[in-house]
Structure 1
Amino acid sequence: MSQSRFQPCLGRYLAAAAGDVSILDVETQVCQHSLQGHTKPIHSVCWDPSGEFLVSVSEDSVRVWTLGSGNEGECVHEFSCNGNKFHSCVFHPTYSSLLVTGCYQSLELWNMSENKTMTLSAHDGLIAALAASTVSGLVASASHDKIVKLWK
């Protein structure tokens, strides 16, 4: 497994990533869904604040899966690499439809409601981890260049 994340708010599921994403029911410890579709290993997973959507990130694609009522386990959005290798992800803390993806030297901002993207030059290395604070509205990026940056 490359990463695991508990579902926020509801806390019912645990997402665990490897070649696919397994969605485990925390109470029964049974795999409820196996989310398949990435062609490369998954580096990162993150939940939206409501716990209804899960994002999985591999080197060449970002997939958004629904785990809310109805259509559970379906890929509802996909964003393919434009030559910039994806590695980490987090939902923006104040704009719920904005996904921030860490790449090699840049951040990819994806407004899912409008299906628009923007690339920001950010680091001199791979952005290995992202974190968001709902209190401050900040996103932190940590890179292999040994620098942590804060973004509004």
Structure 2
Amino acid sequence: MVQTRFQPRLGRLLAAAAKKVVSIFDIETETCIHSLQRHTKPVHSVCWDVTGDYVASVSEDSVRVWALGSGGDGECVHELSCNGNKFHSCVFHPDFPSLLVIGCYQSLELWNMVENKCMTISAHDGVLTALAQSPSTGMIASASHDKCVKLWK
């Protein structure tokens, strides 16, 4: 497993990435309820939206958002292909639910999933290896191989 993340709020589901697959486990029944398999390269990162209804997965060449809550059946509802800068990490924006923040090499990609538009922001001098968001402050933190942590509002 490369990364695991508990579903926010309820914590009943666990997303786990391994190779090209994101597995969704129901921790109460200890069963795999979904096997999300549309990536062509290994998945580096997974994250949940604040509602726990959607999970995003990132490989170097694509980002996928999957519907899991409120009757979602693990369907891929949004896809973004790499435009040259390899993807590495992701987090849903804490204030804008349709905005996914993607960590790349030296930059952040802000992906508006509804409009399917991206904006690139210069961010670090290396790969953005980790992102975190705070719903209470609306801030995002990025960490990179350049040994810096930056806060974004």
- When normalised by structure 2's length, the TM-score is 0.97
Q: Shift of the alpha carbon at 1:115?
A: 1.3
Greater mean alpha carbon deviation, residues 64-73 or residues 35-44? 64-73
Q: Shift of the alpha carbon at 1:134?
A: 1.2
Q: Tell me the secondary structure at the aligned position of residue 49 of structure 1.
A: coil
Q: Shift of the alpha carbon at 1:10?
A: 2.2
2-structure distance, mates of 1:68, 1:134: 19
Aligned identity (percent) is: 74
- Note the residue ranges of structure 1 that are not aligned, 5 or more in a row: none
2-structure distance, mates of 1:120, 1:140: 14
Q: Tell me the secondary structure at the aligned position of residue 86 of structure 1.
A: coil
Q: Tell me the secondary structure at the aligned position of residue 104 of structure 2.
A: strand
2-structure distance, mates of 1:136, 1:25: 30
Q: Tell me the secondary structure at the aligned position of residue 50 of structure 1.
A: coil
Partner of 1:62 in structure 2? Answer: 63
Aligned residues: 152
Q: Shift of the alpha carbon at 1:34?
A: 0.3
2-structure distance, mates of 1:91, 1:65: 13
2-structure distance, mates of 1:69, 1:130: 26
Partner of 2:130 in structure 1? Answer: 129
1-structure distance, mates of 2:45, 2:70: 24
Q: What whole-Å deviation, never above 9, does each CA across 1:93-118 have from its counterpart, x for those lacking one?
A: 11111100000000000011221110
Confirm whether residue 107 of structure 1 aligns to residue 108 of structure 2: yes
Q: Tell me the secondary structure at the aligned position of residue 23 of structure 1.
A: strand
1-structure distance, mates of 2:95, 2:78: 20
Q: Shift of the alpha carbon at 1:71?
A: 4.1
Equivalent positions of 1:73-152 (< 5 A) are 73-152=74-153
Q: Tell me the secondary structure at the aligned position of residue 68 of structure 1.
A: coil
Partner of 1:53 in structure 2? Answer: 54
Aligned Cα root-mean-square deviation (Å): 0.8
- When normalised by structure 1's length, the TM-score is 0.97
Q: In the alignment, residue 13 of structure 1 is paired with which amino acid?
A: L
Task: Show structure 1 runs of 4+ deviating over 6 A.
Answer: none
Q: Tell me the secondary structure at the aligned position of residue 4 of structure 1.
A: strand
- The answer (yes or no) to whether the contact 2:53–2:72 under 8 Å persists in 1 is no
2-structure distance, mates of 1:91, 1:52: 12
Partner of 1:11 in structure 2? Answer: 11
- Note the residue ranges of structure 2 that are not aligned, 5 or more in a row: none
